[in-house]
Amino acid sequence: MSKRALKTYLSGLKKKELEEQIMELYDKFPSVKTYYDFAFNPKEDKLIQEAKTKISNEYFPVKRKRPKARRSVAQKYIKHFIKLGVDSAMVADLMCYNLEIAQTFSMERNVPDAFYKSMLNSFSEMTTFISQHGILEEFKERIITIYNHTQSKNWLYGEEFSKALDILD
C-alpha cells in the first residue's frame, strides 16, 4: 500500500475506528509499542545508561567468566536509538563509549584481527554520524583520544583509521 492510499484510507475512518486500529497495532506489534512508549515517556538518559551497561557486560561480564565482545550488541542499540529519534549527542556518546570500552578490553586481552576490523567499522560510523549531525565540537576530544589510542597501540588498519578521521575535516 502506498503512503497516498494509506492517507486516503485513514481519512475515511471515524475517530473511534482509528483509535481501535492504533490500539490493535500497539497490542500486535512490539515495535509500535516501543515507539509509543518512547514517544510519550522518552527517558533517554535511562535508555542510554542501560545500553552502556549491556555493552560493558559484553566485554567485562559480571555473571559469566568469558567475555563475548560482540560489536553487534552495541550496533543493535545504536540503530534502535537512531530509529526512535534519540538525541544525536546521546547516540554519539554511546558510539564513543562503545569504542572506549573495546579499547580498554583490547589492552587486557589478546584479540583477533576481526576485532580490529569491527572497531574500524564502528569508528567510521561514529565519525560519519558526528559529522552529519554537526556535533564535532562536543566530541572532538574523545574522537582524538580514541584515534590516538589506535595509533599508539599499533592497532591493525591504522591507515584506515586515519582515513575515517579525515571525514571530519
pLDDT tens profile 46-73: 999 999 999 999 999 999 989 999 999 9
Q: How far is residue 38's CA from residue 61's CA, in Å, rounded to a whole number?
A: 28
What residue segments make up the domains of the chain, in order of their start? 1-41, 42-166
Q: What is the pTM of this model?
A: 0.88
Name the pLDDT band for 168 (thresholds 50, 70, 90): confident
